[in-house]
Structure 1
Amino acid sequence: MTRTPPPGGIDLFDVERLHLAEAEEPPLPPSDAMARDLVWDGAVLANPALFDGPVVACAGLERTGPRILRLSWVRVTYRHYGLRRVPGATALASLFVNVVQPTDDGRVTVARMSPSTATPGRRQLPGGCVEPPPDGAGLDVCGLAGQAARELIEEVGVHAAPATLRLWAVTRGKHGSVGLTHVAPALPETALRAAFASAADAERDQGREPEPDGIAFVHSPRELAGRAGPHVDYPEPVVRRHAAGG
């Protein structure tokens, strides 16, 4: 497995095979559960748009061979992450999919989140939290590609068949969050801008604000850093690897 030296504490792993195994949520002391619920209730008061929906968390990530990873996953809800603000409590790592959508000249598409989201102005790759499969069903690589394809449609308006998205890297952030990065077929910048504009207009026609309110295209980590606004931690090593032809 190739591991990029972690700039700013971010790990990036090249991966050829990913094995997924469901695990049970660790037991939680009643005092931590009560504190978690208080944190969540306060967050909802501050932002009524928050929804305690089902989500997948990462319970463990380990190397089992060259370019082979094993990921343990757990069914939780967004409320679980309130544990991050409970002193002494331990929260599982968040798990998300994201997509490198290249232009035909090698740049990477970066989205800017709109003011109506929980992270206004934040720069990130198109993506989102992993959703759990139906009870009794497993999580697999094809299903993850399907979720990545859905995020690409919802956030930048690009329709890519899941089979065309390749799991390209796995990142582990400074706070333990794990990203499953897929790469999509390259498209011209004009086509990407038109797809984004069409998707944003469709959201507004439904009376909703688009999640991202803008996109940009970057060749390098320096160009990425030059974009105004807060940034999540994982795009920098992803853009670095892509620029190097990884």
Structure 2
Amino acid sequence: MTAVEFFDARALRLEQTPVPPLSPEELAAMDRFWAEALARQPALFDGPAVACVGIKTQADGALLLSWAAATYRYRALRRVEGCAWTPASIFVTVLQPVEGGGLIVGRSSDLTASPGRWGLPGGSAEPPVDGERLDVAALRRHAARELLEEIGVICDPEDMTAWGVTRGEYGNIGVHFLAPAVPTALALKHHEALADEERARGIGPELDRLAVVRSVQDVRDLGHCADFLPLVVSRYVGDELTSA
């Protein structure tokens, strides 16, 4: 299992760079592996995505993320043996506290790319459009949209705090935002209403279950979860993270 790293997010910068060059053989292998993945999971969509090209701490202590505009297909390069570039994803999540303590986590439904996996509300970053910039403000707005779309909770992006950055499997980068606390019953009610509405439209919810975790042990008790979740919960609640 890949060890997950944590970085301070109080000073975060993003800069766009080109997609690293790939050989014709690597591109052909990427297309082949993508076609195989699509055959297994027809719901996959080769939409626009942001790939992390590099991450480093600058002289002033700020964290610099270099990113390239790509599509989900590029993730198939992870299966190409000897490929010079292993694309890493950039995604956002929301730490949604509940009054009385704990964080809301959700289980991905069978309609998603990671069915049955527990994680925080969030999603993959997308390249900006119409001349917009990909910066912390854009990621914060994206996180607020994901919170609304996945559990039905409305939060003004300006009320979210950049809380931390993680690097996990394949070098995937998670930018995590902290939202104001809400009552547990209210969050569950919003999610239930959202799920009912989406089922009525014939599209199931992205998260089919919610839970509240207050410790790393709570996370482990859930079973299959995103690689970053134990570390994020550990740092949030001040719990000791062990390898057990």
1:138: Cα distance to partner? 2.1
1:177 and 2:177 matched = no
Aligned length: 238
The equivalent position to 2:95 in structure 1, one of 88, 91, 100, is 100
Question: 1:16 touches 1:67 (CA, 8 Å); kept in 2?
Answer: no
Q: Supply the AA of the counterpart residue of 2:82.
A: G
Which string of whole-angstrom CA distances, capped at 9 and with x for unpartnered residues, describes residues 66-111 of structure 1?
A: 6521111110000000000111112221110001000011201110
1:8: Cα distance to partner? 5.9
Alignment partner, residue 37 of structure 2: 43
TM-score, structure 2 as length reference: 0.93
1:130 and 2:154 matched = no
1:173: Cα distance to partner? 0.5
1:57 and 2:51 matched = yes
Alignment partner, residue 242 of structure 2: none
Question: 2:87 touches 2:170 (CA, 8 Å); kept in 1?
Answer: no
Alignment partner, residue 191 of structure 1: 186
Q: Supply the AA of the counterpart residue of 1:182.
A: F
1:171: Cα distance to partner? 0.3
Gapped regions of structure 1 (runs ≥ 5): 1-6
Percent identity reads 42
Q: Supply the AA of the counterpart residue of 2:68.
A: V
* CA distance in structure 1 between the aligned counterparts of 2:105 and 2:131, rounded to whole angstroms: 36
RMSD: 1.5
Where 1:175 maps in the other structure, the secondary structure is helix
- Within 5 Å, which residues of 2 pair with 1:81-160? 81-89=75-83, 90-134=85-129, 136-160=131-155
Where 1:49 maps in the other structure, the secondary structure is coil
1:137: Cα distance to partner? 3.3
Q: Supply the AA of the counterpart residue of 2:99.
A: D
* Cα distance change on mapping 1:8 and 1:80 into 2, 3 Å: closer
Alignment partner, residue 15 of structure 1: 9
Alignment partner, residue 28 of structure 1: 22
Which string of whole-angstrom CA distances, capped at 9 and with x for unpartnered residues, describes residues 25-53 of structure 1?
A: 01100000000000011111222111100
Alignment partner, residue 235 of structure 2: 241
* CA distance in structure 2 between the aligned counterparts of 1:97 and 1:112, rounded to whole angstroms: 16
Q: Supply the AA of the counterpart residue of 1:233.
A: D
Where 1:226 maps in the other structure, the secondary structure is helix
Alignment partner, residue 4 of structure 1: none
* CA distance in structure 2 between the aligned counterparts of 1:236 and 1:102, rounded to whole angstroms: 15
* CA distance in structure 2 between the aligned counterparts of 1:8 and 1:29, rounded to whole angstroms: 28
* CA distance in structure 2 between the aligned counterparts of 1:13 and 1:196, rounded to whole angstroms: 31
> Deviating runs (4+, > 4 A) in structure 1?
none
* CA distance in structure 2 between the aligned counterparts of 1:105 and 1:172, rounded to whole angstroms: 29
1:167 and 2:162 matched = yes
Where 2:222 maps in the other structure, the secondary structure is coil
